[in-house]
Structures are given as C-alpha cells and as structure tokens.
Amino acid sequence: MRDDTLGLFDLPGSGQAHGRFESARLTQARVRHGMSKTELASAVGVSAAAIGQYEAGVNSPRADVLDRLAKALGVKPGFFSVGRPLARIDTVHAHFRSLRSARVSDRQKALATATLLWELTFALERHVRLPHADLPTVPEGSSPSEAAALLRTHWGLPPGPVKHLVATAESHGIVVAVRPREEIDAVDAFCTVIVDRPIVVTTPRRSENVFRHRFSIAHEIGHLLLHADSGEHGVAVEREADEFAAAFLTPAASMDAALPQRLDLAALDRLGRTWGVSPSSLVRRMVERGRTTESSARRAYQRLAGVYDPAADPTSAYPGEVPTLLKKAAELAAEHGAGTSILADSLKITPHQVRDLLGEVDQRPVLRLVGGG
C-alpha cells in the first residue's frame, strides 16, 4: 500500500463527554474484558443485580463505583460517559470463522474488540484521511466466482497472483487487524461493517502461516461482498465464502493454464508460492477443474500432512500481508500533533491500549523496585 493513500484533513469533533452515564459502554468494556456480571460485581463490590441495572440503564453508578468499574475494566472513568461515537455490540452483526468451541460470549467479546477498533479508526479520521471503503455492489444472485471476478475488475487487479492482499484491501478502505490469541482465542477470524467501515479481524491461528492468512482474509472479503446484508450463517454461507476466496486468489481461467495435468506435489508447491496459496488449496482446485479425482486428492492431502510445515512461511516474511493502515495513520497523526496520548484521551483508554489496538508491540522495559537488603 502506498503512503499516499493517507492524507491530512480536519473533521469536526463529535462532541465531548457530558458526564452522563452510557450504559452500553459498560457492557462493551465488560464483554471485551471477558468478565461476567457476577465477576465484575465481585471486583467492584456491588451486586450482580446492580451491574445488570447499570447495563440496562435502569440505574447509574455512584462516582465512587464508577471509579472502581473503570479500574476493574482498565479504562478511564470518562469511558462510560455519553458524547462519543459508539457502536453498540448488540447492533453489530458479523460473520465468524470460529472453532467449534466458540460460545456466544466468545463472539460477543470479539465484537466488542471490533467496535473499539472502529472507534480508533473514527478517532484517527479526525486527523488523517483514510481510504474510503471501496467495495462494489454485487448483483443479487451472483455466484461467488462472479463476485470474485467483479472485485478484481473493480480494484483494477491485473491477471495473475494477487500480490500483497492485505495491503491491497487496506488501500481500498478495509481495516484489517490481527488480535492476540488470548483475546479472542475461540474465534479464527471474522468481519463486520460498522458505519460503512468494513473491518476484518483475524488471529495468529490464521496469520502464523501466510497462505492460510491470505485465504482467510479473502474468505472474509467474500462475506463482505456476498453476505454483508444477510443474517444467514451456517455451512452453506461459509462454503460460498471459501468459493469466493479460491476464485479471487486463483481464478479458474488462470488455473486452467497453470495447473499441472496430473497431481505433482512438487509442482503444486512451486505454483503455490507464485500464487500465494497452499498446495492443499491447489489440490482442491485440481479437483474442481477436473484434473484429478476426489480419491487422489485425499491421498495427496495425507502426503501433504506428513511433509508440509505450516509454519514454514510466516506472515512476517511477507510485509504486504501484515496490516499497517492504522499504524501508518497513527504515525501521520502523531507527526501533526495528535500522538498516542491524544488518541487515548479521545477514546478514554490508556496509551498502552491504543498501541495494542494499533498492533504495536510495546518493547519498553518493565521496571520493578528492588527490595532493600
């Protein structure tokens, strides 16, 4: 992605906190922190019923309770005040690539993270012009492969491999973030649209291998195009997103010219490195294009499982697949006086949390007191 996709501009303020309590903020912070109402109540010294009343907007916490809530949830007391942009997690819909162990609470926690990412994006846009969301409208009834071809044309991608997929997506206004495994451990990846801003979030489980990472990002883009306005979930919807990803990364016409005439895993490995996809996905492509049978493909998968090292191609070795949009925007904002502390004050969280949302690793030393002799 070129740096000139970012530009400075001024955006009127969205209003300051007025001191009134915003109940949805408490839900957002609690869910993102992974705490139940009972656990938060115990940490704060009130009843679980009181927490429920705060979140329902029935009652507002006293000032001293508000301070304890902020401390327990790692935010500033002003975080709970009205007057700032807010995407309520109960109004945000997403498509998840989840592990079978994913619970409703896991998905809610992931959505709480997405809403805070959107707020950071909004805060940055007070100082920096981000690329506008640039996704085409897919005609109703389009197949996944037709949607993939439409997006390639809309983004002006040349025939051949999609190089630097994440950077390309970011240059077209899609916010991409990799969140730590411990934060949303049971969710592989997901996407959502909040106030016209598409957001794709993935985890190290997907991003540790660049080929899996690229396919996962393309899968989520498929959801954004095919299912953004749909509340449908399930195997059929996931299959369509997979079909989109395969068609987008490895178009059928190109594969017909590039795939070997018979299963040759060494040839598929070389081809995969050129196209940025795994040998397994190319075996599947060979089945789809009539180059091999399902039984031969199963034997190939077994052989690949024994010899293929999924950690051999870490995403960090492919700079175009590491998200940088928000980090570059923050650097540009800082150059013009809106550094991390300004963003933190705007969001009512700590500078450390802002750096974490930006994907920055805090490498500053941790200082501890040394006890006397």
What digits encode the pLDDT tens for the residues 24-70?
999 999 999 989 999 999 999 999 999 999 999 999 999 999 999 99
Q: What is the pLDDT of residue 100?
A: 58
What mean pLDDT is reported for the chain?
Answer: 87
Is residue 159, in this structure, part of any structural domain at all? yes
How many domains does the chain contain in total? Answer: 2
Residue 246's closest CA among 168, 178, 154, 148? 148
The CA distance from 103 to 233, in Å, is 15
For 197-260, list the strands marked E by DSSP: 197-202
Comparing 176-185, 196-205, 218-227, the range with the smallest average pLDDT is: 176-185
Q: Are residues 166 and 288 in the same domain?
A: yes
pLDDT in tens, 357-366: 998 754 444 4
pLDDT bracket for residue 83 (50, 70, 90): confident
The CA distance from 106 to 86, in Å, is 20
Q: Are 265 and 280 in contact (CB under 8 A)?
A: no
The CA distance from 62 to 361, in Å, is 36
Q: Are residues 80 and 132 in the same domain?
A: no
Q: Are residues 284 and 213 in the same domain?
A: yes
Q: What is the pLDDT of residue 357?
A: 93
Q: Are residues 76 and 136 in the same domain?
A: no
Q: What is the pLDDT of residue 365?
A: 44
Q: Are residues 191 and 248 in the same domain?
A: yes
Q: Are 95 and 193 in contact (CB under 8 A)?
A: no
Q: What is the pLDDT of residue 254?
A: 95
Q: Are residues 51 and 139 in the same domain?
A: no
Q: Are 25 and 86 in contact (CB under 8 A)?
A: yes
Q: Are 176 and 204 in contact (CB under 8 A)?
A: no
Is residue 371, in this structure, part of any structural domain at all? no
pLDDT in tens, 122-167: 999 999 999 999 999 999 999 999 999 999 999 999 999 999 999 9
Longest dimension (CA), the chain: 77
Residue 39 belongs to domain spanning: 17-84
Q: What is the pLDDT of residue 368?
A: 45
Residue 320 amino acid letter? G
Q: Are residues 148 and 257 in the same domain?
A: yes
Q: Are residues 74 and 160 in the same domain?
A: no
Q: What is the pLDDT of residue 102?
A: 67
Q: Are residues 216 and 316 in the same domain?
A: yes
Is residue 113, in this structure, part of any structural domain at all? no
Residue 14 has pLDDT above 60, yes or no: no
Q: What is the pLDDT of residue 185?
A: 65
Residue 190 has pLDDT above 80, yes or no: yes
When pLDDT is averaged across residues 254-266 and rounded to a whole number, the result is 94
Residue 17 has pLDDT above 60, yes or no: no
pLDDT in tens, 225-237: 998 776 667 788 9
Q: Which two tokens stand for residue 88?
A: 């309520």
The residue with greater pLDDT, 309 or 373, is 309
Q: Are residues 236 and 303 in the same domain?
A: yes
The residue with greater pLDDT, 124 or 105, is 124
The CA distance from 209 to 6, in Å, is 29
Q: What is the pLDDT of residue 340?
A: 95
- Given 320, 348, 364, the domain boundary residue is 320
When pLDDT is averaged across residues 256-265 and rounded to a whole number, the result is 94
Q: Which two tokens stand for residue 115?
A: 């809403």
Q: What residues have CB less than 8 Å from 366, skipping those under 6 apart?
A: none
- Report the b/e string of 114-130 with b at 16+ CB within 10 A: bbbbbbbbbbbebbbbb
The CA distance from 85 to 62, in Å, is 23
Q: Are residues 140 and 54 in the same domain?
A: no
pLDDT bracket for residue 89 (50, 70, 90): confident
Q: Are residues 195 and 313 in the same domain?
A: yes
